[in-house]
Chains A and B, each alone.
Chain A
């Protein structure tokens, strides 16, 4: 009867502790997640997304959207990929890497087409 009356505590509390542990282990230790970021794009040869450097959009920049499995990116660039050239390309042996170019028919964002 005591267990039934405190079922919320007895079931959910251990489960919550396990969830916290598993989530922390997955994110911080294993880095088992995907990342997406803006990769460099040459608007002369590629169809790029157009972004603005400031709110008034006085200066534009071009980019692609890259999705990768985080451990692969960490292996190439470490924790900070700010100046990592390897982050802009998908290695041939990396199956989970995907580069998306701007498609004016599908994408609602502005494209700089060839």
Chain B
């Protein structure tokens, strides 16, 4: 059955009497949608998100193709054969958009249940498409089927569009609250683009065709404006591709896409016949050109930044490699040098001691003082060498710990007894106290624990010109910790040095005035050892000249 009032179209779809807007809204929009959809799909076809975008673009393109046929065709049979598929395609677009947003937000496929729900929602549209519920005839005079459309069927697939808009909106808002700053921007762009597309597409196609069906609206061309929603969506997709690498599309490819869209819109000038079309094309071209330039600028900036970062990263990697090599060499050198120094030092100390205690006969009084100095200096040098060796072992990971249970309280008391003569010689009072609820047993390396306590107690004595050094051993059975507080009335330290105290070669600025022999390694070694045995060392001082308190902490073996 033919619409006898209308002539056959030229070149498949062209009828001179039809509004230019028809071609302008259909052809470039379809090409842009297909171009972006295919482009995204071909760049990373394994991604579900890209496949879904292509499916949306293809469904939309089929809709516009059918719409163009419906506008230009004068064969009633063909009109009736394609008319039900407007509803089918609109329903598919709605569900695909929901599916697309789920995958975009969750970065994974949806559950089987949700897929089943999508299927159930789409089945009625397909089942009733060939029946009178969808469309029961057509108007030969107008060559359309608006007045024969089934209201329930039409409402159903349009409600799917409304459902899609609401569902997508809820999903986006929900995810927006939880997302990080970068993903929030992506959600916003995707949400605005997709919602605008759905709103423009469904509101115009439903509202205007419904009014036309009622005979209220004779001109159905207003629905054509709704198709521009797809252009808006594709612009937002392009921004997401360029700015956020959504869909895994490369940067250079993004530039190509922008250029292709501009060329495509510009090509509209070649077949624009009316002033309105030319103005519309110009506005679209200017807008797209502006956004395109902005995007390309961003891309260039990004590429430049990326190149700089890559170059810096390469330099840093090379520098880091060299530093690691140098550090290794340094540790090896210190280790070798320290071992070679230790052997002669032991001999020097031994022989000096033997000479002083008269093993080689009586020594003249004036030589006695020199020998005492030799013995003292070699003793300090031995300590320094031991420190260097310890640092070398710690850094190379070769420090060995032989843990066993022992009574810490007894060990601390013993160390205090050993060092008390040294304190008394300096005129200092050394007090030992305990406040224990447990027996004070810990599981650690005895030698290294003694070394840590000796080091800190020694320091307190060394850096306290007058007053006292108090040692308190206390415990916290609830937290299973034991503490040794070493509190002195010495030179103290300021906040700045306190923060760097446990670093290598760090000494308090006022330390040299009291003791010039320190290497700045003792506290570093003690701290590393305590840490390696699940312990800790903390320092406290109210400032220079106000004394210090060091607390050594270990885990109780209850």
Contacts and interface: CB of A to CB of B under 8 A. Distances in A.
Given A34-B136, A70-B137, A79 B1 contact: yes
A81 B129 contact: no
Contact of B122 (A12, A33, A36, A109): A12
Nearest to B88: A19
Given A5-B112, A38-B141, A11 B123 contact: yes
B1 A81 contact: yes
B176 interface: no
B119 A11 contact: yes
A24 B2 contact: no
15 contacts: A5-B115, A7-B115, A8-B115, A8-B118, A11-B119, A15-B127, A19-B84, A20-B85, A22-B129, A26-B130, A36-B137, A36-B138, A74-B1, A79-B1, A82-B5
Given A5-B115, A37-B139, 17 more contacts: A8-B115, A8-B119, A18-B126, A19-B130, A23-B80, A27-B78, A27-B81, A33-B136, A34-B136, A35-B76, A35-B139, A36-B137, A36-B147, A80-B4, A81-B4, A82-B4, A82-B5
B2 A35 contact: no
A97 interface: no
Q: Which of B85, B135, B141 has the most C-beta atoms of chain A within 10 angstroms of its own C-beta?
A: B141
A38 B84 CA distance: 24
For chain A, the bracket of interface size reads 35 or more
A4 B127 contact: no
Interface in B118-153: 118-119, 122-123, 126-127, 129-130, 135-141, 147-148
For the residues of B in contact with A, the DSSP-based class is helix
B167 to A, nearest CB: 17
Contact of B81 (A28, A37, A70, A79): A28
A7 B137 contact: no
B1 A15 contact: no
Contact of A37 (B109, B126, B129, B141): B141
Contact of B85 (A11, A23, A79): A23
Contacts of B139: 35-37
Given A33-B137, A36-B140, A70 B76 contact: yes
A108 B215 contact: yes
A12 B81 contact: no
B80 A27 contact: yes
A36 B1 contact: no
A90 B141 CA distance: 18
